[in-house]
């Protein structure tokens, strides 16, 4: 029997569609259903590698985790990774198809729609419920004839649609009613309920507006979800402005960790566990910010290593990072950040940029050469190094993943990590480079700080350098605990009887 479906669309980007689907995945799993997420086309630099080496958007991985199922490329068959303002790398079923300008990408629509439908149909045969996420708004009239992610998907599988809106931005009623007005009658007929996200204040003051909305549209409000601050779920697009401000304003901390806010930063959820450590101030250093004197500088991953390296040099951050290192203070580079730490970056095929080579920061004795083929693997590894800020971590087991298009050489005798398993195949390879003084680390391993024992070992070493003790004063909740908290928060705010009727499921 084909799975039941429910689609969450939004009045705009960043109104909470991904989080709502994540919560519903967890709720339905808790209620005993086998659930899969689906998003036909995702645009994000926050990606992940599936067990079989396919690359998909991080949001669908989070949703699959919440549902308790293995993420697969069918859950996000098309991923767009922006490389510039009008150009993206197109990843189809987990593998790069190439880089395309926006107008050229739309010409691929006829080729990509069967990929969408085949992926969706596969999920519909394997699960009880498929929860579908839209993108942006279904009411973008200039894009509707090219739609392969919103109403065209809903119409294809006759999915009932919940329309979500963000009240924190203001204009919530105009957004909901205006979206309906711009839909075709057949599309409007699929909208079965509204959900209002990110509410702050007294709900009784909102209720007259909710009654007006229901009378005006004849569509019920399924719930109003209050704003939350203490639930940490990996975000899809970027660290929100409000979160970034809160991080920088944190006062009660022992350690200051500065992540360089590169223009094309990717996989920023690498640092979420550091944000949750009560004794750590994690901050993103962006244009206009002072680097100050952090205990640790992190150069994160990037979709455009050469261009972002040029940015560091142009704004003076390259010199500040090198000075920080010369004073014996720790620096960590992950993926593209690792490549920048080397002596030279070579791009003979112009894979990364229009330049064939660039001088790196020279903090590690390695050279990176870019190739068109992307390496995407889940990995298991062991810490081999026993010096610098890894001194207390030797022998620890790690898990993580790799996503990169460059190959780095020259680190063989200085590699801090031994790769024990790559894409489910046993191996004995090596990753990364640790400087001779143990203060500069480069690695291709994403998810490094999600390994609690390694994270705490590094933080304790950083604190000891300052002559203070680092003790975790609060428990960092696991992903499973975070998903359960999110499900409880959303379940308590939604009319679950209405949700079950909309899906056409019998509520347990």
Give the length of the chain: 508
Which residues are 165's β-sheet partners? 196
Known active-site residue 446: yes
Nearest to 24 by CA among 499, 478, 479: 499
Give the SS3 label for residue 38.
strand
Nearest to 454 by CA among 242, 273, 280: 273
Nearest to 224 by CA among 165, 307, 158: 165
Cβ-contact 277, 232 below 8 angstroms = no
Cβ-contact 258, 237 below 8 angstroms = no
Where are the alpha helices (H) located in 15-142, listed in sequence order?
17-30, 58-67, 102-106, 109-126
Q: In this structure, what token pair is assigned to residue 151?
A: 């109403």
For Cα atoms 229, 333, 266, give the angle at the middle one, nearest 5 degrees: 50
User: How crowded is residue 424: how many other Cβ atoms within 10 Å of its Cβ?
Assistant: 12
- The single residue listed with the structure tokens 């005993």 is 32
Nearest to 283 by CA among 318, 332, 246: 246
Give the SS3 label for residue 377.
strand
Pairwise CA distance, residues 384 & 397, whole Å? 10
Cβ-contact 247, 281 below 8 angstroms = yes
Pairwise CA distance, residues 166 & 149, whole Å? 20
SS3 of 292-307: the string is CCCCEEEECEECCHHH
- Per annotation, catalytic residue among 25, 324, 335, 377: 335
Which residues are 100's β-sheet partners? 88
Q: What single DSSP character describes residue 455?
A: H
- Per annotation, catalytic residue among 377, 446, 450, 460: 446
3-state helix, strand, coil in the chain (%, to 5): 35, 30, 35
Known active-site residue 335: yes
Cβ-contact 187, 154 below 8 angstroms = yes
- CA distances for 67 relative to 103, 212, 434, angstroms: 36, 35, 38
Pairwise CA distance, residues 98 & 92, whole Å? 9
User: How crowded is residue 231: how many other Cβ atoms within 10 Å of its Cβ?
Assistant: 18
Count of helix runs (H) and strand runs (E) in the chain:
16, 26
Would you please indicate which residues are annotated as catalytic (active-site) residues?
335, 446
């Amino acid at each position: 029997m084909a799975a039941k479906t429910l689609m969450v669309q939004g009045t705009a980007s960043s109104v909470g569609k991904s989080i709502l689907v994540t919560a519903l995945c967890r709720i339905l799993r808790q209620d005993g259903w086998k659930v899969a997420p689906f998003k036909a086309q995702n645009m994000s630099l926050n990606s992940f590698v599936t067990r079989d080496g396919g690359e998909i958007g991080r949001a669908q991985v989070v949703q699959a985790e919440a549902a308790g199922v293995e993420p697969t490329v069918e859950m996000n068959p098309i991923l767009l990774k922006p490389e510039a303002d009008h150009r993206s790398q197109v990843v189809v079923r987990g593998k790069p198809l190439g880089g395309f300008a926006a107008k050229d990408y739309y010409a691929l629509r006829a080729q990509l729609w069967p990929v969408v439908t085949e992926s969706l149909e596969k999920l519909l045969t394997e699960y009880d419920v498929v929860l579908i996420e839209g993108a942006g708004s279904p009411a973008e009239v200039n894009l509707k004839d090219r739609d392969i992610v919103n109403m065209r998907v809903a119409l294809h599988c006759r999915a009932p649609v919940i329309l979500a809106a963000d009240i924190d931005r203001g204009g919530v009623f105009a957004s909901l009613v205006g979206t309906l007005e711009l839909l075709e009658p057949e599309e409007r007929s699929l909208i079965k309920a509204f959900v209002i996200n990110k509410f702050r204040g007294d709900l009784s003051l909102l209720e007259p507006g909710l009654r007006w909305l229901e009378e005006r549209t004849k569509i019920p409000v399924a719930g109003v979800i209050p704003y939350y601050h203490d639930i940490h779920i990996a975000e899809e697009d970027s660290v929100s402005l409000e979160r970034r401000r809160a991080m920088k304003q944190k006062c009660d901390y022992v350690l200051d960790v500065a992540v360089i806010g590169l223009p094309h930063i990717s996989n920023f959820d690498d640092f979420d566990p550091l944000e949750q450590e009560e004794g750590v101030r994690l901050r993103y250093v962006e244009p206009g910010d002072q680097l100050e004197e952090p205990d640790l500088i992190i150069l994160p991953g990037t979709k455009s290593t050469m261009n972002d390296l040029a940015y560091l040099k142009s704004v003076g951050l390259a010199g500040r990072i090198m000075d920080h290192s010369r004073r014996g203070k720790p620096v960590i580079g992950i993926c593209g950040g690792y490549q920048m730490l080397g002596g030279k970056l070579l791009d003979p095929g112009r894979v990364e940029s229009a330049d064939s080579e660039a001088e790196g920061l020279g903090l590690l004795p390695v050279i990176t050469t870019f190739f068109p083929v992307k390496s995407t693997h889940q990995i298991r590894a062991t810490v081999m190094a026993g010096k610098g800020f890894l001194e207390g971590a030797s022998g620890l087991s790690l898990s993580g993943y790799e996503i990169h298009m460059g190959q780095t050489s020259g680190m063989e005798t200085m590699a801090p990590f031994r790769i024990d398993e790559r894409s489910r195949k046993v191996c004995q390879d090596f990753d990364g480079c640790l400087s001779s003084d143990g203060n500069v680390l480069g690695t291709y391993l994403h998810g490094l700080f999600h390994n609690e024992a390694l994270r705490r070992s590094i933080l304790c070493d950083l604190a000891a350098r300052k002559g203070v003790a680092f003790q975790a004063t609060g428990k960092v909740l696991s992903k499973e605990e975070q998903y359960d908290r999110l499900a409880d928060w959303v379940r308590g705010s939604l009319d679950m009887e209405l949700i079950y009727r909309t899906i056409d499921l019998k509520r347990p």
